[in-house]
Structure 1
Amino acid sequence: MQADHWLHLFKEQVKQTSLLEWASVSFSVAEVLLAKVNNVLLYPTGIIGILLGTYILLDVGLYAESILNGYYLVMSIYGWWYWIKKRNEPPVKISMTNRREWVITLLIVFVGWGVLYILLKHFTDSTVPVWDAWVSSTAWAGMWLLARRKLENWVLLNVSNIFAIPLLWHKQLVMFSVLTLFLFIVAIFGFFDWRAILKKDKAAA
């Protein structure tokens, strides 16, 4: 009976999903698929999805996630430029996070969480300041590790994802919630793929 209730709720929310949300999710899925096949078109596709998504997030009062999307936008533009400039050079090797990097990572998580919470609580009409701030601060930490090609980036990104899924559902952004579940699964595979590459590199060395 409980399963039927959730299925009915899901169907109702899908029906209420706006065309703008469908478009944003479609571009975001296309970005992930293009990234999987190493196609540079992932960047312009992702930028469109980010711009649409930011508008939607602002509309429902998820301000920290909107700021996070602003970071994604900057990094997408930078990544597009860097890809074209450095595409023929070997990538940075995958490695494990060291103690110093863990300290920085935890500072990003907890200081970022606190700062974002204060800003959301006192300067916006956010109804979920603690939750919204946590999702964004853990994602920032994960992206910092990703930029440094650290294996543990997938762990931090999935900490963010696991909290973002119910948050987006709570805000009735059902397709964004489903998209985040998809990204959660991709990140699990990403962790194991990177770990295999790391082991292979260590064995070769």
Structure 2
Amino acid sequence: MSLADVIEPLQQPLFTLLDTPVSWTEVLGFGSGALCVWLVAGQHLANWPVGIANNLFFVLLFTQAGLYADAGLQIVFITLAVYGWWTWTHGGGPGSDTLPVRRTTRTEWGWLLTAGAVGTLGLTLLLDRATDSTVPFWDALTTALSLMATYGQCRKRLESWWLWIAADVVYVPLYAYKELYLTSLLYVGFLTLCFLGLRGWSRDLDGRRRTVEKEAVA
């Protein structure tokens, strides 16, 4: 059995939403994506393998939809997921098997914003000239924002949630425009989960800071 034989059934319509066929790939991407974000919000290590499965489904989905930057982005996400998986279990320093939530430093913001701007410009030009993409800028922008957010997620930076929120605000209408209605709906759910994740990580950070202050006074 070839890879094409395995992929072909996943691309078949499962049902119709707003007169648009919805494939197994989109449904599986919907479910695994929602579960992944929920696990990240709760700082569950299982978010990484679930996220890798979600990335594989989205590679197929976005390639079909002509969102080439987003499709390529999933491959990068898989690489970052392996890094994030390791960091969450080994990045807390000597004697620690967990990585604490921290704020993004000014230095990190500086190179993140620079890389994001350069990446958006470069991808826009590439997609406009080398592909048949109808939304090169928006595809490039969401790609850059997602990579910035994923780095923050790997390092448990609180502000990574704000980057995800910014990306999702663009993703929702972008996917609706591409008639990926179920995926667009998924990203509405992502927005809600992002705010919940932001609140949860903020509480964790505040709680750890109060504990440090009490220990210092004692």
* TM-score for both structures, normalised by structure 1: 0.83
Question: Match of 1:106?
Answer: 113
TM-aligned CA deviation for residue 93 of structure 1: 2.2
CA distance in 2: counterparts of 1:137 and 1:66, whole angstroms: 13
CA distance in 2: counterparts of 1:136 and 1:34, whole angstroms: 22
Question: Match of 1:179?
Answer: 186
Structure 2: any 5+ residue segments left out of the alignment?
Answer: 1-15, 213-218
TM-aligned CA deviation for residue 73 of structure 1: 1.6
162, 169, 179: which one pairs with 1:162? 169
State the number of aligned residues: 194
CA distance in 2: counterparts of 1:43 and 1:115, whole angstroms: 28
The alignment's C-alpha RMSD in Å is 2.5
1:76 aligns with 2:84: no
Could you tell me which amino acid in structure 2 is paired with residue 38 of structure 1? Answer: H
Alpha-carbon distance change, 158 to 33 in structure 1, aligned in 2, over 3 angstroms: closer
Question: Match of 2:70?
Answer: 65
Cα contact 2:87–2:155 (8 A) shared by 1: no
Alpha-carbon distance change, 150 to 33 in structure 1, aligned in 2, over 3 angstroms: closer
Alpha-carbon distance change, 23 to 118 in structure 1, aligned in 2, over 3 angstroms: same
Alpha-carbon distance change, 153 to 30 in structure 1, aligned in 2, over 3 angstroms: closer
Structure number with the higher strand fraction is 2
Once the two structures are superposed, residues 56-105 of structure 1 have per-residue CA deviations (whole angstroms, 9 ceiling, x without a partner) of 10111111111221112223344556677789943222222222111112
Question: Match of 1:192?
Answer: 199
23, 26, 32: which one pairs with 1:21? 26
Alpha-carbon distance change, 57 to 146 in structure 1, aligned in 2, over 3 angstroms: same
Structure number with the higher helix fraction is 1
TM-aligned CA deviation for residue 186 of structure 1: 0.8
CA distance in 1: counterparts of 2:209 and 2:90, whole angstroms: 28
Question: Identity of aligned pairs, percent?
Answer: 26
* TM-score for both structures, normalised by structure 2: 0.78
Structure 1: any 5+ residue segments left out of the alignment?
Answer: 1-9
Alpha-carbon distance change, 174 to 192 in structure 1, aligned in 2, over 3 angstroms: same
CA distance in 1: counterparts of 2:52 and 2:141, whole angstroms: 24
More off after superposition, 157-166 vs 64-73: 64-73
